Amino acid sequence: MEGRIVLITGGAKRVGATICRRLHRAGASIMLHFRASAGEARLLQAELNHVRPHSVALIQADLLDVAKLPSLVEQTVQTFGRLDALVNNASTFYQTAIGDIGVDDWNNLVGTNLQAPLFLAQAAAPALKKAQGAIVNITDIHAERPLKSYVVYSVAKAGLVGLTRSLARELAPEVRVNAVAPGPILWPDEEVFDELARQRIISHTPLRREGSPDDVAKAVHYLLAEAPYVTGETINVDGGRHIAL
């Protein structure tokens, strides 16, 4: 990743921050996107720029504002001179049970998890083709096996898997497009899974334990830096949970 430029959405905290740290440690410079986590974004920028000055820049945007998405790519190229990779990590996650789904839920969940990755990829395509670059989308094992009461989220992530495959065809041969599908890595900030539910999930995971954010970051690094003949693939990083559901 030495000298490569990576735009990472939702990179200020949780898994996104771990991806930023791993790619930065491998030599990449980062355009770190955030929406509301300004404090976390600035702290992470300061941490990484202390290691390597001027290697991390910040950009704030609401990914639901489609008209502003091309500016994320434009500002990355203006700041660093090029764009080698796009990591669509930002996500919205909450319950939408049948009977309670509204249009706002659809627009929010599909907008963040599917619409934004599509339009960011479209905006980034010329720069990525020039750089012979790559895209990694962060999907979910529930794209293939829907999570009960999370209808819209599951549909949006399923769409993101389909988008990954479609973009892999559309942007080949210059740009590779792949995905990483995490399983039980970090529990949501909201207390939607109590301790019993968490233990039940882990018990149905073949490796019988939670993963770490760095497990996801390692997979992203592999797809960006060490997989030149891999495209259109989704790597499940879930302790085998996808085969046990």
Omega of the bond leading into 173 within 30 degrees of 0 (cis): yes
- The beta strands (E) that lie in the chain are given as 5-8, 29-34, 56-60, 85-88, 134-138, 176-182, 234-237
Cα distances from 9 to residues 34, 63, 104, 115, in angstroms, run: 7, 9, 22, 13
List, in sequence order, every residue forming a beta bridge with 58; answer none if it has no partner: 32
Q: From CA 15, how far away is CA 123, in angstroms rounded?
A: 24
Q: Is 153 designated active site?
A: yes
Among 150, 153, 222, 229, the active-site one is 153
Q: From CA 25, how far away is CA 19, in angstroms rounded?
A: 10
**DSSP output for 97-142:** -TTS--HHHHHHHHIIIIIHHHHHHHHHHHHHHHHT-EEEEE--GG
Residues classed as catalytic: 153
